[in-house]
Amino acid sequence: MTHPAHPAPTDSPVSPDRAPGGGGPIRPMPLVLMYHSVDEYDEDPHQITVTPARFARQLAWLRSAGLRGVGMRELLDAHADGRARGLVGLTFDDGYADFATRVTPTLLRFGFSATVFVVTERIGGDNAWDDGPRKPLMTVGQIASVARSGMEVASHGLRHVPLPAASDDALAAELAGSRAALERIVGEPVTGFAYPYGHAGAREAAAAEAAGYDYACAIDPYEPSRHALARTYIGERDRRLRLRAKVVRHELRWRSRV
């Protein structure tokens, strides 16, 4: 994606993240990190789990780099106002129970927040869609509790199915049904979505927007947009130097595009 017409200074207060004509974004997003689970583990074939000690060190590194972790809604609001410098988006896919028991207390200790993406028909169950080890998911009570603690609760669909393979009707149901279920739990509008497996094409991004979501997170989108936001994977192997490399790589990419 190139933006040849109107180069804008990074985070300029006069350049909101939409082009003047209401078209697509005119500059890439601030850094958004993607996590799944924070827990001790014996085996983790899909590398979705970070140990609590490593997670705390990663947050400490972010803080020492002058970055504060926030949820997507806060990040996007700040970005629109040109206030996103110094913020990094923190996202947690699937809604594992450890988001309530381990992640939220650690984030609060650092003065950080995050967005958690919940699979609504699996609430209180486990990651049955996965061929790796079973991991428990948050209960209704835990979801309500993390929301009260200031975490953003957003949707990861009804059943964690790959949406590009879903029919139009099934896609619409995944988007609308999960949102309604979460709004009943948290008692406020749910404005964010994350595509299961990160998979989204133009049809899925248009459907998420049509379903009323303000933004949607992908993983490595073919065409990044507000409804297909790119994220950077963070795992157990991301110690200080690798974390710094990922932050720098993102900033270089950002600068080269504005």
Binding residues for Zn ion (CB under 5 A): 93-94
Measure the CA–CA gap between 32 and 49, rounded to whole angstroms: 17
We find the least distance from the C-beta atom of residue 197 to Zn ion, in angstroms, to be: 6
Taking the least distance from each CB to Zn ion, the nearer of 86 and 164 is: 164
The tally of CA atoms less than 13 A away on the side-chain side of residue 153 is: 33
User: How would you label 173-183 residue by residue, b for 16+ Cβ within 10 Å and e otherwise?
Assistant: bbbbbbbebbe
Taking the least distance from each CB to Zn ion, the nearer of 1 and 128 is: 128
Taking the least distance from each CB to Zn ion, the nearer of 146 and 247 is: 146
Question: Closest residue to Zn ion, Cβ-based?
Answer: 93
We find the least distance from the C-beta atom of residue 115 to Zn ion, in angstroms, to be: 13
We find the least distance from the C-beta atom of residue 5 to Zn ion, in angstroms, to be: 36
Taking the least distance from each CB to Zn ion, the nearer of 79 and 179 is: 179
Taking the least distance from each CB to Zn ion, the nearer of 125 and 187 is: 125
Measure the CA–CA gap between 216 and 201, rounded to whole angstroms: 12
We find the least distance from the C-beta atom of residue 160 to Zn ion, in angstroms, to be: 6
Residue identified by tokens 């949607």 is: 216
We find the least distance from the C-beta atom of residue 190 to Zn ion, in angstroms, to be: 17
Provide the angle, in degrees to the nearest 10, between the axes of the packed helices 140-148 and 168-186: 70
Measure the CA–CA gap between 41 and 39, rounded to whole angstroms: 6
